[in-house]
Amino acid sequence: LPPEILAAIFLLIPRDVGDTSWIRVTHVCHRWREVALNDPRFWSVLNSVPPCFMEFALARSKGAPISVHTSEDTPDDTLFKALSPDRLQEVSLNLTAGGRTVLSHFTKSFPILETVEI
């Protein structure tokens, strides 16, 4: 299969919140690894991933729009500190009173933001 088709298939892998098992596709063979590592779209959906993985994913996503989904009551705001406002396309947050500090990052302009769920 051409790399574009293989990448499109990889993008269909379910991305459950908090689950990074989809990354196993990069361990199948060298070709799959190259396709996945070099496609920014594969790294642009962040579903409650650990802070150390966020930095890696943001670097791999290059300039692609980012979707952030978290089910944590008090999400780590590391991502929102590191993320450029012009890259955030979709946000879904599950917050309790302790997670309100994350909202302070939303005082800026987000030119491509399409969806916000709180």
Q: Model-level pTM greater than 0.75?
A: no
Q: Is 73 a residue whose pLDDT tops 60?
A: no
pLDDT at 75: 58
Return d(Cα 76, Cα 50) in angstroms, integer.
Answer: 9
47 DSSP β-pair partners:
69
Q: Write out the two tokens for 104.
A: 């302070």
More confident: 55 or 26: 26
pLDDT tens digits, residue range 93-105? 777 666 666 666 6
Q: Find the DSSP H helices in the chain.
A: 3-10, 30-37, 51-60, 78-82
Quick one: which of 48, 47, 42 has its CA closest to 9? Answer: 42
Any idea where the domains of the chain sit in the sequence?
3-117
In the predicted model, what is the mean pLDDT of residues 53-75? 80
In one letter, which amino acid is 79?
L
Whether residue 32 contacts residue 6, with contact meaning beta carbons closer than 8 Å, is answered with: yes
